[in-house]
Amino acid sequence: MSVTHHEATKHSFWSVRKNPNFLDWSKQPIPFKIYGDYPLVPLDLDAPLGKCIYYLGGINAKKSYPGVEYYLRTVPSAGALYPTEIYIQMRGMEDFADGIYHFDVANAGLRLLYPLQADEGVEIALRDRRKVEGCIVLFSSIYYRSSWKYKNRAFRYCLLDAGHAQGALEMSTQIFEHAYTLHYDFDKALLNEKFGFRDREFFLSLAIVGRRKAERVQRLGIELPFVDGTGNFEPNETIEAAYHETMGLQSCRPMLRHPRFTFMKERLEEAIMKRRSIREFSAQPIKKEQLAFILEAMRQPIPSDCDDKVRIWYVINRVEGMQCGLYLDGELIKAGDFRQKAGYLCLEQALGSESAVTFFLTSGARNYQPLYLKAGHIGHRCYIASEYLGIGCSGIGAYYDDEVREFLGTQDMVLYALAIGK
């Protein structure tokens, strides 16, 4: 099964040489969207809800270079470009008036965009319109932040990055012992319009963290003005078309089971706030039990209204007591030393060869947006479970698509790669 956009954005040995990416620094987008005319409610980081929201994508490190400062977040992002934005509808929550808020990452707070009347809500976009008492977290993407650098392939990264944000929400709900369910099947076009996105930003998914009531929402009066979240903008018609073409869903099967993790809360919170991408491995092995722990976390169900199978392949390069080779679902598919091969496949990045394990996530399913978001979500679990154990991890969005498929021996689309190790 192939999706047109996916086919058209494959990297190959020749494509990256024929079309090297040049960056126009005068068009660099800003990574923050600020609704400056709306009231800011600062997040109280000593309160559970404040922390819970901060963990979704708040700043957790600052890097300074001569003349520039930039900020890193609890979520990773391809090229540190941060296309994901987060909106939260709150109903019946302590300390927050009922309303729709935007997570203002730069100012560590929520901006109240729209106070809600009792009969209103974003549930209007869900098929059954049933009211949610609690939170609805909406994930959107401002694609130019990523397409500035990655051109057409950026749509994949927008999806992966938003998947990481979903994964971050999952970790927050773990700490605060709430359940969540993801929804992909909602009227995104309606909400894009009501939020004034003008095709420059688009909704991808939402998570319900709360109780669904029998009562239905009647309307949603919000009509937001367009707010620029890039500072510079250049349209990319291919990405806009890809978004619209992949918006419709087919034969969705819901996943009703919830994940079970064995994280200890305090250590998990530390891992969330410390998480970074490893930039270089020292080629040390990891333990078999550590890989088992990380795989266990990655394989947990993701409750949603549209769950497609994502396969987790992995090349073992350096794991004590385990044979080197390519594995799928715990089974050795082919034995051998594939270190160099794994690095080559990841666009010749040393991360792929010096890792203890290099993962490839693939799928043969049709629902492109949900399954790509799922790959990012699984990737986030990989990061957090690794950080929790003191093991390094990096997402790898750049790989030679068809050569990876050939190596794995699959017709699946290759969605994402990740490397873990020391």
Smallest separation (angstroms) from ligand FMN to the CB of 314: 17
Q: How many residues bind to ligand FMN according to rule CB under 6 A?
A: 19
Residue 126 is given by DSSP the state B
Q: Which stretch binds ligand FMN (CB under 6 A): 8-16, 72-80, 146-154, 216-224?
A: 72-80
- Give the x-and-dash track for 247-266 against ligand FMN (CB under 6 A): --------------------
Which two structure tokens, joined as six digits, stand for 101?
A: 């808020």
Half-sphere exposure of 98 (CA within 13 A, CB side): 13
* Region of residue 199 (left: phi > 0; alpha: psi -120 to 50; beta: else): left
Q: With binding defined as CB under 6 A, does residue 109 bind ligand FMN?
A: no
Ordered DSSP codes for 362-381: EE--S-HHHHHHHHHHHHHH
Smallest separation (angstroms) from ligand FMN to the CB of 398: 4
The answer to whether residues 189 and 104 touch, using CB atoms and an 8 Å cutoff, is no
> Which of 394, 401, 404, 412 forms a contact with ligand FMN (CB under 6 A)?
394
Smallest separation (angstroms) from ligand FMN to the CB of 211: 32
Smallest separation (angstroms) from ligand FMN to the CB of 347: 7
Whole-number CA gyration radius for the chain: 21
- Give the x-and-dash track for 270-299 against ligand FMN (CB under 6 A): ------xx----------------------
The answer to whether residues 42 and 51 touch, using CB atoms and an 8 Å cutoff, is no
The answer to whether residues 205 and 183 touch, using CB atoms and an 8 Å cutoff, is yes
Q: With binding defined as CB under 6 A, does residue 398 bind ligand FMN?
A: yes
What contacts 64, CB < 8 A, 6 or more positions away?
Answer: none
Strand 109-115 versus strand 59-65 pairing type? unpaired
Smallest separation (angstroms) from ligand FMN to the CB of 157: 5
> Which of 396, 408, 413, 420 forms a contact with ligand FMN (CB under 6 A)?
396
The answer to whether residues 130 and 206 touch, using CB atoms and an 8 Å cutoff, is no
What is the torsion angle, in degrees rounded to the nearest 10, for the CA atoms of residue 244, residue 245, residue 246 and residue 251? 120
Q: With binding defined as CB under 6 A, does residue 397 bind ligand FMN?
A: yes
Q: Which of residues 79-108 bind ligand FMN (CB under 6 A)?
A: 79-80
Q: Which of residues 161-220 bind ligand FMN (CB under 6 A)?
A: 161, 164
Question: Which residues make up the interface to ligand FMN (CB under 6 A)?
Answer: 72, 76-80, 157, 160-161, 164, 276-277, 349, 351, 394-398
